[in-house]
Amino acid sequence: MKKEKRKSTESVEVCRLLLDLIDASPTPFHAVREISSLLVAGGFQRLREEEAWNLDRNGRYFVTRNGSSLVAFVCGAGPVEEAGFKIIGAHTDSPNLRLKPNPLFKKNGYLQLGVEVYGGVLLTTWTDRDLSLAGRVILKARKGTSSELVRIHEPILRIPQLAIHLNRQVNDKGLVLNPQNHLSPILSLAGKDAASEAFLKDLVSRELGCKASEVMGLELSLFDVQKGCMAGPGQEFLFASRLDNLASCHAATLALLRAPARVDPTRVLAFYDNEEVGSESAQGGASPFLKNILERILIHSSSGREELLRAMARSLFISADMAHAVHPNYSEMHDAQHMPMINEGPVVKSHAGQRYATEGVSGTRFELLCQKAGVKVQKFSIRSDLQCGSTIGPITAANLGIRTVDVGNPMLSMHSIREMAGTRDHLDLIRVFTGFFSED
């Protein structure tokens, strides 16, 4: 009983940290900035891809690309070709609505913003929420450009639903939203003094404390201003935006920070942007970002190509992304033998068609890690008559040739503006990952 109580206090503690990360990270740019600060506080040093590196044995480093993807590593105490890499990968992006390059327009007396759909958004969940804008601002600098992150804290946008009186069949037919016609949020009333083209630049420059004329480019997304919370009579649930996949990024980061400072293998975090749109970008899972860094680590230990290939062959990549818990109102959507439950431990995902990279050995190695950490483990396989989603696991496995396992914590409402997961699961995943990063 005492042990149970301790576990629940501990899970509340780590979930508070997770919710802080999520609330501070409305976009992948913010997520990378927040994770970078956690790493710096943990003694990690920032490296830049364009500079020459000097790596120390047991040194702690991180690199970002495009400000939206991040690779962190702790150089191993042992020779890399003997100890290999231990990698946990996840993604920093979440499905959302993004402003178009020329977003402002007036219609029927309203001032509105044109948006694009980023990733597999559960569109209806973005209606009738208190929304705002966040993202990256490109500024004119003395030499070229610089960029700053911005976030408007107040709710300034809304996508109102049509009243039921004007859409009588909505409860029978469901809410069908055309992305071009029905998703443009209302910003304000388009009165005589309505905002001009410069309105958004003025808005962000006020927030940043710079001149509007310095603002060259805007990469802004919509987000829900409501903060995440723990919920349920026993605080067993998490209700928040972007649990997919900031929860996995958080669990892996905390694990690396909590693991012993020195072990033989070189431990790596690889957090990618653009997973939700297929990973094909300079900073996505299909890019050579991680491969380049693994090579540079090897070059620094004065090893050759053979050592790199030997190191890869000794490595394990854990691809962490959220999993589908069984929904009690739609349990027929799961295979009856594979119904992951919230707070019953991480899920190992497999798919014969390789939409998940798990194979027998990598799956078993993860199960053993769970056993060692005293954590229950579950298995997921999609119904044979449904199409399977995918994640960075198969893409990085094909790219690097490293043995890979796809895992993740069970959740509901995946890709909703407000998702749902379990508090106990988050602590359990941190324990399993910490065990992974602690082994010699």
C-alpha–C-alpha distance, residues 307 and 293, integer Å? 15
Please give the residues from 6 up to 35 whose contact with Zn ion meets the rule CB under 5 A. Answer: none
Q: Which C-beta is closer to Zn ion: that of 94 or that of 287?
A: 94
Stretch that binds Zn ion, among 6-14, 49-57, 242-250, 372-380 (CB under 5 A): 242-250
Establish how many alpha carbons lie within 13 A of residue 181's alpha carbon, considering only the half-sphere containing its beta carbon: 4
Q: Name the minimum Å distance from CB 131 to Zn ion.
A: 21
**Member of 244, 273, 406, 425 binding Zn ion (CB under 5 A):** 244
Minimum gap (Å) between residue 162 Cβ and Zn ion:
31
Q: What angle do CA 424, 260, 430 make, to 5 degrees?
A: 15
Rounded to 5°, the CA angle 68-10-95 comes to: 30
Q: How far is the CB of 414 from Zn ion (least distance, A)?
A: 7
* Cβ atoms < 10 Å from Cβ of 231: 14
Sole window of 191-199, 238-246, 396-404, 420-428 interacting with Zn ion (rule: CB under 5 A): 238-246
DSSP 3-state percent helix, strand, coil across the chain (nearest 5): 35, 25, 40
Give dist(CA 406, CA 297) in Å, integer.
25
**Subset of residues 79 to 108 that bind Zn ion, contact rule: CB under 5 A:** none
Taking the complex as a whole, the smallest distance from the CB of residue 31 to Zn ion amounts, in Å, to: 13
CB of residue 431 to Zn ion, shortest distance in Å: 21
Total residues interacting with Zn ion, rule: CB under 5 A? 3
Q: Does residue 396 interact with Zn ion by CB under 5 A?
A: no
Site for Zn ion in 117-146 (CB under 5 A): none
Q: Are 335 and 384 in contact (CB under 8 A)?
A: yes
Q: Does 224 bind Zn ion (CB under 5 A)?
A: no
The piece of 30-38, 97-105, 180-188, 243-251 that touches Zn ion (CB under 5 A) is 243-251
Select from 3-11, 45-53, 196-204, 315-323 the region that touches Zn ion (CB under 5 A): 315-323
Residue by residue, DSSP assigns 274-342 as: -GGGTS-STTSTTSSHHHHHHHHHHHHTT--HHHHHHHHHT-EEEEE--EEPPPGGGGGGS-TT----T
Which is nearer to Zn ion, 279 or 434 (by Cβ)? Answer: 279
- CB-wise, 182 or 418, nearer to Zn ion? 418
Min separation Cβ 407 and Zn ion, Å: 12
Comparing CB distances to Zn ion, the nearer of 321 and 344 is: 321
H or E stretch at 98: strand 96-107
Nearer to Zn ion, 244 or 344 (CB): 244
Considering only the stretches 36-44, 102-110, 319-327, 370-378, report the one whose residues sit in contact with Zn ion under the rule CB under 5 A: 319-327
Instruction: Examine residue 428 and tell whether it contacts Zn ion (CB under 5 A).
Output: no
DSSP characters for 148-197?
EEEE--S--BB-PPPPGGG-TTHHHH-----TTTS-PPEEEE--TT---T
Q: Name the helix (H) or strand (E) containing 88.
A: strand 85-91
In whole angstroms, how close is the CB of 405 to Zn ion at the nearest point?
16
The region of 236-244, 296-304, 356-364, 372-380 touching Zn ion under the rule CB under 5 A is 236-244
Q: Which of 93, 321, 344, 428 binds Zn ion (CB under 5 A)?
A: 321
> What is the gyration radius of the CA atoms in the chain, in angstroms?
23
Nearest CB to Zn ion, comparing residues 185 and 393 = 393
Binding residue (CB under 5 A) for Zn ion from 96, 184, 245, 434: 245
Angle of helix 423-438 versus helix 360-373 axis, rounded to 10: 110
Closest approach of Cβ 29 to Zn ion, in Å? 18
| CB-based contacts of 74, cutoff 8 Å, min separation 6 | 58, 59, 60, 61, 256, 261, 266, 267
Q: Which is nearer to Zn ion, 133 or 414 (CB)?
A: 414
> Helix, strand or coil for residue 218?
strand
Give 24's DSSP letter. Answer: T
Interface with Zn ion (CB under 5 A): 244-245, 321
